[in-house]
Amino acid sequence: MTSTAPAPAASDSTSTAPLLEVTDVTKYFPGKTSGLLGRRGNPVKAVDGVSFTVHEGETLGLVGESGCGKSTTGRAVSKLIEPTSGTIKFGGRDISGLSQHQMRPLRREMQMIFQDPYSSLNPRHTIGTIVGTPYHIQGVRPEGGVKRAVQGVMERVGLNPEHYNRYPHEFSGGQRQRIGIARALALRPKLIVCDEPVSALDVSVQAQVVNLLEDLQNEFGLAYVFIAHDLSVVRHISDRVAVMYLGKIMEITDRDSLYEYPMHPYTHALLSAVPIPDPKIEARREKILLTGDLPSPSNPPSGCVFHSRCPKFKNELSDSEREHCRTVEPVLEEKRPGQSVYCHFPQARPDLIAGDPVTESPIRSTRPKAA
Amino acid sequence: MSTATAPVPPRSSVGAPFLSVEDLKVHFPTDDGLVKSVDGLTFSLQPGEILGIVGESGSGKSVTAQAILGLHKGSQAQVSGSIWLNGRDLVAASEDDMRQVRGSEIAMIFQDPLSALHPFYTIGQQIAEAYRVHNKVSAKDARARTVEMLQKVGIPNAAGRYDDYPHQFSGGMRQRAMIAMALICKPRLLIADEPTTALDVTVQAQILELIKELRDELDSAVILITHDLGVVAETCDQVVVMYGGQAVEKGPVDELFALPEMPYTWGLLGSMPRMDRVRETRLTPIPGSPPSLINVPKGCVFNPRCRFSDRVPGRKCFEVHPDLLPSSSPRHEVRCHIPHEERVEILDTEIRPTL
């Protein structure tokens, strides 16, 4: 699988246009009204200038803490909510100005899978109705009738087609997630935006669903935007990964570079925080603990948005360098081939995952003490 | 079906264990039948130790925690066996006695702090109340102690945040407030039920670090319930792997991760994608889904999902319920019919290469 490593550089130069091209998309939510005159406060900048591309058959992972704007990004690019600005091109066509009505035919090619399999399925509808609805809405008449098509999809995702008339409550969490996948898959889309599709599932079931998503991708050439906070799952499923913080992309690159040479201090903190099921490795790994909470997206810090929590800013930089971080906002630019980083002082840290003993040289410990 | 030969709590330098759960059973009668949520669980714990209980949803982890806290008293649940805490049996204790124990000797941190905290009272009031119930102190002293505790769990500007309501706190801060509330009476036993499941990894790392620090400071025993073997590897000293209401494997964390022997533990390890290994093209999930706790499979509970039941002669896996027996070391116990040597061989030849 590692043969796909140089993909991003290569895929940019290939003649095929990306399936999804997102340029500088923002989504601001209006601030709270306050005072007698009903003045609005600062808008909440949930997504603030995000750009990425997704090619056919490719998976882009979108990771970050809750509140970083990854779900809003997913919804904005699939036009479930209207982005404030920026352009979204799908299959070469600019869809950012389209109305919901104009979007409808495109939904056939762009679907979504949601996190919570309990609230994303209508409890009053049978599985047959839920999975069959896309056909009715789009006016698609599959060969052999809707019922047969639905049962075919159900079988493909590992559900028993005889359960066509059952209701969602009769299924377990993992099976419900399969129903959600069947619904997304019904019209053979080109792109599926998966918003935390496995987060609510038990590990053993999670693995079943991840395998299913990969099989479907190979079979139908699907592209995924895979939104998740679990970095191990994202590594498993993604070809490229974007790390988000406070509505911006901190680092975007192919999977292997991100996990082997993470460059942004926030990526470092995220990777070091993922526990690894091996006590020996855990004992020698460095944990980079971030202090404080996520700043408010309506009032982000000046300069680099991450500087208020950046361990590197706090422990390693000189005063003049800090001044630079505080006043000048970095731009997302290529620091290694195919690896774009939003940081003034990026540094590759290959030692974070397995706690490679090679780098037990005097790297200053960034472990802060709880106040 | 429980075994009288269930190994006595492991020997230790301190003598009798601080917490000892013996053959605990929690059964719930329902219209559909008897739900055996916990069925013969035995473990023990010393002060200063962190015990991890791992398992999928429905394996009985949380019900065990609730039984230790005596939360099933007065309900339909049938609780049997014994829970010895510091020489006292909590199963036999009355509800009034349990009220004294809860909060002061045993405290609990719940998974979802937003639903565990009362939305109408301020964070400070709720924490101070826990303190005043168990200690005769003035409101002022309670407030001072609460602020001190909030500081200790790392809430910035603790005095200023005392009068905030839960919704004004972020997820990580609410969990910190829950921990402050749990620890304000210096409990000897802290039960954390999925304390970090709802949190981001970065916040999870902070909270786990905090639990370890407070354990060191108060020398409390901690039971950490989780579904994440990574969290266990990072935090715990002992681990119990639960499946279908039973312990299927338990032992010291180092031994269990060095030599996992129960096929279910292999399944759990194999189904997690791991960042520290070469990326696998496919994950190896455990086939099927967790068992119904009403019709528990005959024989070994794991047999419907086990890939190795054909390694045992005859239909033993489907007919005889295996005992939890000591394996490589007396403290590492495994519930499986496959002989120890063969398990080690399967582990080396078939499991490890796929992990």
Q: Which among B209, B202, B276 is positioned nearest to A351, based on CA atoms?
A: B276
Whether B205 and A289 lie within 8 Å, measured CB to CB: yes
Q: What is the pLDDT of residues B73-90, one digit of tens each?
A: 888 899 999 999 988 899
Query: Do residues B198 and B298 share a domain?
Result: no
Residue A20's pLDDT band, with cuts at 50, 70 and 90, is very high
* Dihedral, B348, B349, B352, B355 alpha carbons, nearest 10: -160
Residue B94, min C-alpha distance to chain A (Å):
36
| 8 Å CB contact between B235 and B246 | no
If asked whether residues B287 and B235 sit together in one domain, one would say no
Q: Which residues contact B353 (CB under 8 A, 6 or more apart)?
A: none
B273 and B194 fall within a common domain: no
Q: Supply the pLDDT for residue A240.
A: 95
The residue of chain B with its CA nearest to that of A274 is B201
Q: Could you tell me if A371 and B154 are in contact, meaning their C-beta atoms sit under 8 angstroms apart?
A: yes
Question: What is the tally of structural domains in chain B?
Answer: 2
Name the residue of chain A whose CA is nearest to B169's CA.
A293
My answer on whether B238 and B250 are in the same domain is no
Backbone angles phi, psi at A310, to 5 degrees: -75, 120
Contacts of B107 (CB under 8 A, 6+ apart): B181, B182, B183, B185, B187, B189, B190, B191
- The answer to whether residue A235 scores a pLDDT higher than 60 is yes
What b/e sequence results for A30-62 when a residue is b if at least 16 CB atoms lie within 10 Å of its CB, and e otherwise?
eeeeeeeeeeeeeebbbbbbbbbbbbbebbbbb
Residue whose entry in the numeric block shows the structure tokens 């999809």 = A153
Question: Which alpha helices (DSSP H) does A294-366 contain, by range?
Answer: 311-315, 319-327
Question: Band of the pLDDT at A12, cuts 50, 70, 90?
Answer: very low
d(CA A278, CA A319): 39
Query: B135: domain CATH number?
Result: 3.40.50.300
The size of the A-B interface in CB pairs under 8 A is 143
How many Cβ atoms are within 10 Å of A365's Cβ, its own excluded?
11
> B185 and B254: one domain?
no
**Residues B111, B221 within the same domain:** yes
Say whether pLDDT at A364 is over 50. Answer: no
Q: Which of A255, A279, A371 sits opposite B151 (nearest CB)?
A: A371
Contact residues, chain B, for A204 at CB < 8 Å: 56, 267-268, 271, 285-286
Residues 165-194 of B with CB under 8 A from A: 170-173
pLDDT range class, residue A37, cuts 50, 70, 90:
low
Angstrom CA distances, A192 to A77, A244, A255, A367, stand at 11, 20, 19, 39
Check if the interface score ipTM surpasses 0.85: no
Cα–Cα distance, B303 to B310 (Å, whole number): 10
- Alpha-carbon distance A217 to nearest alpha carbon in chain B (angstroms): 13
In a domain, B188, yes or no: yes
The pLDDT value given to residue B282: 84
The Cα A11–Cα A15 span in angstroms is 8
d(CA A302, CA A344): 14
Contacts of B172 in chain A (CB under 8 A): 293
Q: Would residue B73 count as lying in a domain?
A: yes
* B283: nearest CB among A65, A211, A282: A211
Task: Please name which of B264, B244, B323 lies closest in space to residue B59, comparing C-alpha atoms.
Answer: B244
A208/B205 Cβ within 8 A: no
CA–CA separation, B31 vs B5, rounded Å? 34
Q: d(Cα B220, Cα B215) in Å, to the nearest integer?
A: 5
Mean pLDDT over B27-52 rounds to: 92
Round to whole Å and give the CA distance between A136 and A207: 32
List the single residue in A174, A206, A279 with the smallest CB-CB distance to B257. A279
- Which of B151, B213, B257 is closest, CB to CB, to A277? B257
Distance (Å, whole) CA B235 – CA A126: 44
A-chain CB neighbours of B257 within 8 Å are 277-280
Domain boundary among B195, B219, B242: B242
pLDDT value at A11 more than 50 = no
Residues A268, A232: Cα–Cα separation, whole Å: 14
Q: Chain A: give the shortest CA distance to residue B352, in Å.
A: 13
Q: Out of A175-184, A215-224, B150-159, pick the least confident.
A: B150-159
Same domain, B142 and B63: yes
pLDDT tier at B352, thresholds 50, 70, 90: confident
- In sequence order, the β-bridge partners of residue A252 are A242, A340
In a domain, B186, yes or no: yes
- Residues of A whose CB is below 8 A from B205: 272-273, 275, 287, 289
Q: Is B52 helix (H, G, I), strand (E, B) or coil?
A: strand
User: A250-302, pLDDT tens digit by residue?
Assistant: 999 999 999 999 999 999 999 998 888 888 888 888 888 887 778 888 888 99
| CA dist., res. A316 & res. A363, Å (int) | 10
Beta strands in B194-329 (DSSP E): 221-226, 238-243, 246-252, 324-326
Is B256 a domain residue?
yes
- Please tell me which residue of chain B has the smallest CA distance to A229: B200
Supply the mean pLDDT for chain B: 87
**In terms of domains, do B288 and B333 share one?**
yes
State yes or no: pLDDT of A3 exceeds 50. Answer: no
- Cross-chain CB nearest to A204 (options B156, B206, B268): B268
| Domain final position from B242, B269, B300 | B242
pLDDT digits (tens, 9 = 90+) for B158-172: 888 999 999 888 888
Option in A273, A277, A278 nearest B201 (CB)? A273
Min mean pLDDT across A2-11, B219-228, B273-282 is at A2-11
Q: Cα-atom radius of gyration of chain B, to the nearest Å?
A: 21
B198 plus B266 within the same structural domain = no
Whether A289 sits inside 8 A of B209 (CB atoms) is: yes
pLDDT, tens digit, 9 for 90 and up, residues A217-230 = 999 999 999 999 88
Interface residue of A202, A211, A212, A306 to substitute, partner B, most B CBs within 10 Å: A202
From CA A276, how far away is CA B277, in angstroms rounded? 10
CB contact under 8 A, A2 and B231: no
Q: How confident is the model at residue A236, as a pLDDT?
A: 92
Report chain B residues whose CB lies below 8 A from the CB of A287. 205, 209
| Contact status, residue B229 vs residue B56, Cβ threshold 8 Å | no
- Please give the share of chain B, as a percent, with pLDDT higher than 70: 96
| Minimal Cβ distance to B234: which of A203, A230, A275 | A275
Chain B: residue whose CA lies nearest to A290 = B202
Which is more confidently placed, B22 or A205?
Answer: B22
Mean pLDDT is lowest, of A261-265, B28-32, B109-113, B297-301, for B109-113
Dihedral Cα B89, B92, B96, B100, nearest 10 deg: 10
Mean pLDDT for all residues in chain A: 86
Q: Which of A32, A214, A278 to mutate to test the interface with B (most CBs of B within 10 A)?
A: A278
Is residue B296 domain-resident? yes
Whether B276 and A278 lie within 8 Å, measured CB to CB:
yes
Local structure of A85: helix, strand or coil: strand
Distance of CA B105 to the CA centre of its chain: 17
Going from the C-alpha of A41 to that of each of A45, A47, A48, A300, B67, the distances in angstroms are 12, 17, 17, 13, 49
Q: What are the pLDDT digits (tens) for A140-150?
A: 888 889 999 99
- Is the pLDDT confidence value at B237 over 60? yes
Check pLDDT > 60 for residue A6: no
Confidence at residue A2, expressed as pLDDT on a 0 to 100 scale = 41
Whether B340 is covered by a domain: the verdict is yes
Which among A355, A213, A112 has a CA at the least distance from the CA of B283? Answer: A213
Residue ending a domain, among B203, B223, B242, is B242
Amino acid code (one letter) for A82? E
Nearest Cβ partner of B202 from A174, A202, A273? Answer: A273
Type of residue found at A12: D
Contact state of A370 with B272 under an 8 Å Cβ cutoff: no
Cβ-based burial of B11 (10 A; exposed 0-12, middle 13-18, buried ≥19): exposed
Quick check: is B3 in a domain?
no
Number of CB atoms found within 10 A of residue A151's CB: 23
Is A277 within 8 Å of B227 when comparing Cβ atoms?
Answer: no
The per-residue pLDDT for range B5-37, each reduced to its tens digit, is 444 444 444 467 889 999 999 999 988 889 999
Query: Taking 90 as the threshold, does the pLDDT of residue A202 lie above it?
Result: no
The DSSP output letter for B298 is S
At B241-270, the pLDDT tens digits run 999 999 999 999 999 999 999 999 999 988
Contacts of A115 in chain B (CB under 8 A): none
Chain A: give the shortest CA distance to residue B180, in Å: 14
How many Cα neighbours within 13 Å face the side chain of B137?
Answer: 17
Residues paired with residue A47 on neighbouring β-strands, in sequence order = A27
pLDDT of res. A42: 82
Minimal Cβ distance to B200: which of A66, A173, A279: A66
Of A207, A279, A354, the CB nearest to B283: A207
> What integer pLDDT is reported at residue A356 of this predicted model?
57
DSSP state letter for A34: E
pLDDT at B169: 86
Strand partners, A253: A241
Q: Are B234 and B251 in the same domain?
A: no
pLDDT of residue A360: 40
Distance CA B347, CA B354 (A): 10
Whether residues B211 and B291 fall in one domain:
no
Starting from the edge strand earliest in sequence, which strands make up the sheet with A110-113, in order? A110-113, A191-195, A223-227, A59-63, A240-245, A248-254, A339-341, A333-336
Which of B 255-274 lie inside 8 A of A, CB atoms? 257-258, 267-274
Tell me the average pLDDT across B122-130: 92
pLDDT of residue B152: 83
Scanning B42-101 for CB atoms below 8 A from A yields 56-57
Residue-range definition of the domain harbouring residue B223: 19-242
Task: Kindly state whether B315 is in contact with chain A, defined as any CB-CB distance less than 8 angstroms.
Answer: no
- Please state whether beta strands B238-243 and B221-226 pair in parallel, antiparallel, or not at all (unpaired): unpaired
Are residues B345 and B288 located together in one domain of the fold? yes
Q: What pLDDT shows up at residue A34?
A: 65
In a domain, B1, yes or no: no
Q: What whole-number distance in Å separates Cα of residue A30 and Cα of residue A246?
A: 16
